Amino acid sequence: MNLIFLGPPGAGKGTLAVKAVEILGVPQISTGSIFRTAIADKTPLGLKVKAIIDAGKLVDDETTIALVKERLIKDDVKNGYILDGFPRTIPQAEALAGFSKVDKVINFDIPDSGVLERLGGRRVCRKCGFNFHAIFNKPKQEGVCDHCGGEVYIRDDDKPEAVQKRLEVYRAQTAPLIDYYRGKGLLLDIDAKPMVDQIVINFKKAMGI
């Protein structure tokens, strides 16, 4: 099962993906995490994309497509994958169609108010990437990940100026993918407003599992 998770920043794609990986037994591939790891490791890719990402803009299609194409060659995606954060533009979707067959696209439906509330409080583990929230889902010990003991921090692109920019970019460049995939009969809408446990239920229902 080859799945795409589509939705605005802060819709909970990464959070659901962690659960969906357990349910489906296929890996999550998050372009955002790949970029953040590259930035932390100061690789050539990381140095190239850091300023772009911190400003809330999109990395160019050519770079992003090459990254995903290379990732989908690996053995662990034989039985499927969850693409989280890719494609984010029509050219990315068209390129993907040329090297992989997408089975379903999960569209995370959430109003801007929900996005702002989530991103405003989002805290992320630097080591394992787990998402916490300053109010709704705090780590037991402040600043320390419950799962791996890593440092829990605020992503640079979750700062208010970057969040506004990311929402604009989402509307202009990514939202057109909703109609693109709906037109291909691949889209499954899920209500992404509730808390995680309910979203897992909504996801299973949409998938018929």
- Judged by the rule CB under 6 A, the positions of this chain that interact with ligand ADP are 9-10, 13, 30-32, 35, 52-53, 56-59, 64, 85-88, 92, 157, 166
Among 97, 148, 172, 195, binds Zn ion (CB under 5 A): 148
What Å distances lie between residue 195 and 30, 31, 124, CA to CA? 21, 24, 17
- Asked whether position 144 contacts Zn ion by CB under 5 A, the answer is no
CA angle 133, 138, 139 (to 5 degrees): 120
Tell me, yes or no, if 155 is annotated catalytic. Answer: yes
Tell me, yes or no, if 118 is annotated catalytic. Answer: no
Q: Which of 13, 36, 118, 123 is catalytic?
A: 13
Tell me, yes or no, if 122 is annotated catalytic. Answer: yes
- Asked whether position 152 contacts Zn ion by CB under 5 A, the answer is no
Q: Which stretch binds Zn ion (CB under 5 A): 15-23, 44-52, 147-155, 179-187?
A: 147-155
- Asked whether position 184 contacts Zn ion by CB under 5 A, the answer is no
What Å distances lie between residue 181 and 1, 93, 143, CA to CA? 16, 9, 39
Phi and psi angles of residue 74, each rounded to the nearest 5 degrees, phi first? -65, 155
Tell me the β-bridge partners of 2.
81
Tell me, yes or no, if 13 is annotated catalytic. Answer: yes
* Token pair recorded at residue 166: 């990311």
- Asked whether position 195 contacts Zn ion by CB under 5 A, the answer is no
